[in-house]
Amino acid sequence: MKFYIGIGGIGCRTLHAYSAQCKEQKDKSFFYIETDYSFNQAIENTYIIPGNEFGTGKLRSIGRNLIKYEILNGRIKNFFSQIQHTNEVELFFVVSSFGGFGGAAVSPLLEYLEAIAWNELKSCYIIAFNENAFRTLCFPEKDLQRFESNTIEFVNELTDREKSAALVSRFKEKLYRPWCTSVLIDTAGSSPDEFWKYLSLPISELLQKDCKSKYIIKSKEKRVFISFSSKDLAIAERIADALNAVGIKPWISTRDIHGGSYAKQIMSGIKQANVFLVLISKNSICSEHVKSEVDRAFSRIKEGLTVLPFLLDNSEYDDDLAYYLCRQEFISGVIPPIEDRIQNLVDRIRDIGKDDR
């Protein structure tokens, strides 16, 4: 028996459109879990999490906690009783990777369903849709950056779990169940109203469309994103030259920004980095661009990104930067000569990651 579970706004609406095409297929059941009361609650097998009339917005932490609360309080148990009492269960989750609920809730919900259907779980799949369809719909760039950040976290969670499943598979086969097969669909050129058409494709064909790799850093080469105020350009350039001299690739806007969207190239540079170096001075403390880059960098810390402040003077962080940087290791470049301080910085960057080998 195939059970399709839509989670969150995109997931529920996509699945409901697909279910309308499957009325005669008796081997499929459809479930919907939402936080937004605007979803049609009259649809059979719909579970609206109470107390969240306006949904969770873009906050994944809220979405994850909401579903955990429902599970731990036993509120959702009866909702899935059909799955618990069915033989040969196949699970299909339909979510967006970029929202505040669907992509965040799928992992804890899957753990719960794996537990209650352990003996009969035949296979499970996650079919997720990324944020690219919304890039042409006049969404604010800040929202699109948050969407992409959510997708990066979503993909990171999936790959971490898949790696763990691979390790568990070394034990006796009877103790192991495959965790999940996941597909992330690049929605560029699609309308959200058309997402449901992907669900009618065979899994083998969907896997050929999987774009998770675009959100994962493949290269083991050390890449350093340098965040700085334009007033500190001279020192930023000297640091970039020092990194290049020892074979470490720096990303610096004066050399790596080309034609096209400035913001998109900045976000791409941070996504490809494994070290985020921010130059702290009286100039950068007043720079909204630097603060935006720091905010973006901290969304990738769970992926292993190292954030390293380099102090150019004795200016104290303002509240915005202190929120992110007050507990980060820093290197001081205040005491001259600056050449020695830059060398200390380069040596520290070279050492990053050695303990993980």
Q: Is 333 left (phi over 0), alpha (psi -120 to 50) or beta?
A: alpha
What's the count of helices (H) and strands (E) in the chain, helices before strands?
12, 11
Whether residue 5 has pLDDT greater than 90: yes
Tokens encoding 334: 């205040």
Buried b (16+ CB within 10 A) or exposed e, 192-215: beebbebbeeeeeebeeeebbeeb
Q: What is the pLDDT of residue 36?
A: 82
Residue 31: which pLDDT band, with cuts at 50, 70 and 90? very high
Going across the sheet that includes 331-332, the strands are 249-251, 223-227, 275-280, 306-311, 331-332
Q: Which helix (H) or strand (E) holds 31?
A: strand 28-34
Average pLDDT score over residue span 29-33: 94
Does residue 7 surpass a pLDDT of 80? yes
As a whole number, mean pLDDT of residues 303-322 equals 88
Contact of 101 with 15, CB cutoff 8 Å:
no
Q: Residue ranges per domain, the chain?
A: 2-215, 223-356
Question: For residue 15, how many C-alpha atoms fall within 13 Å in the half-sphere facing its CB?
Answer: 32
Segment holding 2, helix H or strand E: strand 2-7
Let me know if the fold of 2-215 is the same as that of 223-356: yes
40 versus 291: which is more confidently predicted?
A: 291
Beta partners for residue 340, in sequence order: none
Percent of the chain whose predicted confidence (pLDDT) is above 70: 90
Q: What distance in Å separates the CA atoms of residue 164 and residue 166, rounded to the nearest whole number?
A: 5
Element (H, E) at 260: none
Average confidence (pLDDT) over 320-346: 88
For residue 128, count CB atoms less than 10 angstroms from its CB and return exposed for 0-12, middle for 13-18, buried for 19 or more. buried
Confidence of residue 149 (pLDDT cuts 50, 70, 90): confident
- pLDDT beyond 80 at 171: no
Closest CA to 104 of 147, 72, 45, 144: 147
Q: In the prediction, which pLDDT does 357 show?
A: 40
Q: Closest Cα to residue 277, out of 234, 247, 240, 246?
A: 240
Q: Could you say which of 2.40.50.140, 3.30.70.600, 3.40.50.1440, 1.20.58.760 is the CATH number of the domain covering 2-215?
A: 3.40.50.1440
Mean pLDDT of the chain: 85
If we measure between CA atoms, which residue out of 8, 6, 15 comes closest to residue 198? Answer: 15
For residue 198, give every residue at least 6 positions away whose Cβ sits within 8 Å of its Cβ, in sequence order, or none: 127, 129, 185, 206, 209
Q: In CATH, what number does 223-356 get?
A: 3.40.50.10140
pLDDT above 70 for 355: no
pTM, full prediction: 0.63
* Per-residue CA distances from 272 to 109, 127, 223, 266, 276 (Å): 30, 25, 7, 10, 10
How far is 340 from 4, CA to CA, in rounded Å?
A: 60
Q: How far is CA 242 from CA 43, 203, 250, 294, 324, in A?
A: 62, 49, 9, 22, 27
- The pLDDT tens digits of the residues spanning 247-282 come to 899 999 998 888 777 787 888 899 889 899 999 999
